[in-house]
Structure 1
Amino acid sequence: MERRLAAILSADVVGYSRLMGVDEGGTLERLKACRRELVDSTIEEHHGRIIKLMGDGALVEFASIVDAVHCAAVIQRSMPSRDQGVSEEQRIRSRIGINLGDIIVEGDDIYGDGVNIAARLQGIAESGGIFISGTAFDHVAHKVDVGFSALGEHRLKNIADPVRVYRVLLDPSHTGKVVFAPRARSRGIALLPLVGLLIATIAAVVAWQWPHKQRASIAVLPFANLSDQTQDYFADGITDNLIADLTRLSKLDVISQNSVFAYKDKPHVLADIRRDLGVRFVVEGSVQRIGDLMRVNAQLIDTESGDHLWANRFDRSEADVFAVQDSMSRQIANALGLKLTPSEAERIARPPTANLEAYDYYLRAEQAARTGRRSLMLEALALFDKAEALDNGFAEAFASDAHATAYVWRSAYDDVLKSALARKRPTTRQVARLPSIPNYHRLMRSSPSCRSWTDVTSRRSPRRRRPCRSAQPIPKPTWRWHMFK
C-alpha cells in the first residue's frame, strides 16, 4: 500500500441537476467549454493531476498546497466573466474544497481521510467559494494573493475529529489578510441559536456572581526597519523572537506570526487590528542598525482606549541583542501585570545560541525560507547549514532547517531537494532540546510523521497551555522522517 502527503482539490458545479433541467444541451456545452478553456489548462499550469472527472465535479491532486490554492483562486475568479449575458438561473458556479493530508494510492486512484476531508469541505463551501482545512492554511498563509477568514472547527460527516475550516477571500483588497471570526458556526444545527442563548444566560449569571480576570491577548506587529532594505531580516528576527518569548508566558495569548506579518509595511488602524485579530493589546516598534550598534524602539498599546501602557528605547551593541529581547519581554509582561514563574523567566533568559554569527545566518535563512519561493529555498538551506556549522547545539536552526527541507519536499522542488539532501547530516542529537522551542508540542502535532513520537514525548515533559491563535503556526520540527525519506 502506497501512502504519500498531497494537496487534494475537490470541486463540483452548484445546482448541476437544476441547470440540466433548465437547459440540458446548453449546460453540457458550456461545461465542456469551461473545462477546455479554463479548468484543464489552469490545473496543468499549476502542476495538478486530475484523478477523477464526474459530470458535475472533479478530484485533483497537487504536490504543492500553494499550487492547489492558487489554481482554485484563478478558476473561481475567472468563472463569473464567462457567464456574461447568461441569465442568473443558467449561470455556472462551482464550489471547491482543499485539504493537505495523507492519502492512499492504488493505481490511478486515491483514497483516505486526506481525500474525504477535501470532499466534505467542498460540500459546505458557498457558491463560487473555496474552503480549505487548517492544515492547508498553516502551509499556505501569505504565500498566495488571497486572504482568509477563520470559520472555527467543524464536525464533518464521517470524519472522526473536528476540522479547522478557513474561507478563501478572493477580493484583491483582502490579499494577505487573515480574519478571525468571533465565534465559529456549524451548518445544519437548527437549535444552535437556542443553545447559544442558554449558554450566554448561564455565563452572564456566573460572571455576575464570580467575576474573573480575562486572559490578556496580544499581537506583536512587524517591527519597522529604519535601516536600508538589506537589514529587513534583522527587524523581522526581532519581531519573531519577541513573539516566541511572549508565547512562553502561560497567562498570555499571542497571535501567530503568520497573522501579524500580514500587516508588514502596511498602514494600520488599531480598531481594525482589534476587530480582525481579536486582541486587547498591540506591540509595535522599529529597529535601526548602524555598524555594530542598534536602536530598538517598542511600545505597548491598549487597542480599546488607545493608551500607551509602556514604551522604551534600547541603544545597545548588536552583541546585546538577546539581552534586549529578554528585557523587552519582561517589561511588557510587567506592564500587563503578569508575574513570570521561575521556569518562564529561565526560558526567556536562555539565548538560542552564544554565537552571534550563527544567529545572523539563522535570521537570514528564516527570511529567505518564509517566502516559500524555489529561487530562495536553496539559499535558505545553505544559510541554515552555516549557522549549524558554527554552533552544532543551535536547536532552533536545526528545527527550521528540517522544516524548510520538508517544505521543499512537499512542494516538489526536486532540484532544490536533491542539493539539500546531498549535504544533510543526522540531527538526532538535537531532538532532546526540542521541548524548549516555543510551541514545540503543537508544532510536532501538526506533522503527521511525528505524531507517534510526540505522543510519547508529551508524557515526559510539561505541556503548556496552547492559545487559540498561538505563535508560529508553521510546523518547524518536521524531523528526520522528512529529511531522509
Structure 2
Amino acid sequence: MSETQRKLTTIFSADVQDYTRLMGLDEEGTLATLKRYREAMSGLITAHGGRVVNTWGDGLIAEFPSVVEAVRAAVDVQTELAAFNDAKPASAQMLFRIGINLGDVIADGSDIYGDGVNIAARLQSSAPAGGIVISNTVYDQVRNKIPVGFDFLGPLTVKNVSEAIPSYAIRIGENRTPDAPLAAAALSPPRTEERPTASLSRVRKLLGIFAIAAAMFAVINALTWEGNLWAVWPILVLAFVSAMLIARLQSRVDPQLAGLAIIGLGLIAINLLSWHGTFWAIWPLMAFSVIGAIRWVMRS
C-alpha cells in the first residue's frame, strides 16, 4: 500500500474550453489535437521542473516545487498553444484554461488530493479561454519576479472551503520587468495591487460611518419635527451607496446584475416615497430587466 503524507506544493490545473462542442464537430480530429497539445504542455511542464500528476478527459493536473516556475510554465503553455491555434479556423481552435494555487495537499503515491487541488480546479474554471488565473498565495510569490501584469478579480468562492479565495488574472505579454517593481506598480491600475483584506476593512468602516450618519439624520428629524419626514432622503442615499459597495465586493452574484437590482430597488423606493398616483418606476425597471437578461445570457 502507498503511504500518504502532507506537503506544500504548487498545483497547476488545466482543461479545454468548449471541449464537448469540439468533440461534436470532429471527434477524431479533436482527440488528435488534444494529444498534440497535451504533449506540448507536458514537455513545458517538465522543462520547468514540474510533474504531470494526472490526466482525465480534457483535463490535466500537474505540480511544481517552485511557484515561479509553475507560472512561467503556464505562460509558456498558453503562448505555444496560441501559436498552434493560429493555423486553425476560429471554430476549431482548442483553448485551454489554467488555474494555479499554492497550497497544502495530501500526497498518495503519485497522486495528490485536498483543498489545494480543489482551489486550483476552481481557479481554472473561472479563467477565460486561453487565460490563467492564480490564487493570492501564488500572486504573493511571483508578483515582482515574472514580466507579466495582474488584474485582481476579487474573492472566489470554492465549494467546501469556508473563506473565499482572492484571485488574479495574468495579463500575458505585459511589458513589465521584475527589476522595476515600483515603477510597474505606479503604472498598474490601483486595484491590481490592492490587498483585498484592506479593501474589505475600509468598506466595513465606511458602512459603520454611514449607519451612524443615518441614525443622526433620524434623530435630528425627530427633534425638529414639523410634520415633514425629510430624513428619509439622506438615509436612502446612504443605504444605496452601502448596498453598491457590498455588491461590488461580494462574489456569489454577478456584481453588475446585483448593481442593476439595487438601482431598481432605489427607483421603486423613490417612486413610493414621492407617490403622486403614477408608478413611473416600471419603465426603467423594464429596461434594467432587459439589460440584466442580456448580461445573464452572455456571461462566461
TM-score bracket for this pair, using the shorter chain length: 0.5 to 0.7
Q: CA deviation at 1:154?
A: 2.1
1:6 aligns with 2:72: no
State the Cα distance separating 1:62 from its structure 2 match.
0.6
**1:159 alignment partner, one of 158, 161, 167:** 161
The aligned residue for residue 194 of structure 1 is 260
Equivalent residue for 2:212? none
Letter in 2 for 1:31: L
The aligned runs of 1:28-427 (5 Å cut-off) are 28-36=31-39, 38-173=40-175, 177=184, 179=189, 180=191, 184=249, 186=251, 189=254, 191-194=257-260, 197=263
- The 1:106/1:199 distance shift into structure 2, 3 A limit, reads farther
In 2: Cα distance, 1:40 partner to 1:137 partner: 23
Q: What is the distance in 1 between the residues matched to 2:131 and 2:73?
A: 13
In 1, Cα distance between the equivalents of 2:95 and 2:45?
17
How far does the alpha carbon of each residue in 1:51-96 deviate from its partner, in whole angstroms, 9 at most, with x for none?
Answer: 1111211000111111111100111112121022311111010000
The answer (yes or no) to whether the contact 1:96–1:131 under 8 Å persists in 2 is: yes
Distance change >3 Å, CA 26–CA 162, structure 1 → 2: same
Are the aligned partners of 2:85 and 2:93 in contact in 1 as well (CA < 8 Å)?
Answer: yes
Deviations 1:82-119 (A, max 9, x none): 02231111101000010001111111211111111000
1:15 partnered with 2:80: no
SS at match of 2:161: coil
Cα 1:142–1:163 change in 2 (3 A) is: same
Whether the 8 Å CA contact 2:106–2:114 is kept in 1: the answer is yes
Secondary structure of the 1:173 match is coil
The structure with higher relative contact order (CA 8 Å, sep 6+) is 2
Aligned to 1:298: none
Conserved in 1, the CA contact under 8 Å of 2:101 and 2:138?
A: yes
- For the residue of structure 2 that corresponds to 1:172, the secondary structure is coil
Partner in structure 2 of residue 378 of structure 1? none
- Whether contact under 8 Å (1:3, 1:104) holds in the other structure is yes
* Pair 184,147 (structure 1): closer, same or farther in 2 beyond 3 Å: farther
Alignment correspondent of 1:314: none
- Structure 1: state its 5+ residue gaps: 202-485
Q: How many residues align?
A: 200
- SS of 1:83's partner is helix
**Per-residue deviation at 1:172?**
3.1
| Alpha-carbon contact 1:151-1:185 (below 8 Å) kept | no
After TM superposition, the structure 1 = structure 2 runs for residues 461-480 of structure 1, keeping only pairs within 5 Å, are none
Identity %: 41
Question: Distance in 2 between the 1:62 and 1:184 partners?
Answer: 32
Asked whether the equivalents of residues 147 and 175 of structure 1 are also in contact (C-alpha less than 8 Å), the reply is no
Between the aligned partners of 1:156 and 1:97, the Cα distance in structure 2 is 13
Q: Give 2:149's aligned amino acid.
A: G
SS in 1 for 2:128: coil
**Normalised by the size of structure 1, how large is the TM-score?**
0.39
- What is the letter of the counterpart of residue 117 of structure 2? V
1:323-343 per-residue CA deviation (whole Å, 9 max, x = no partner) reads xxxxxxxxxxxxxxxxxxxxx
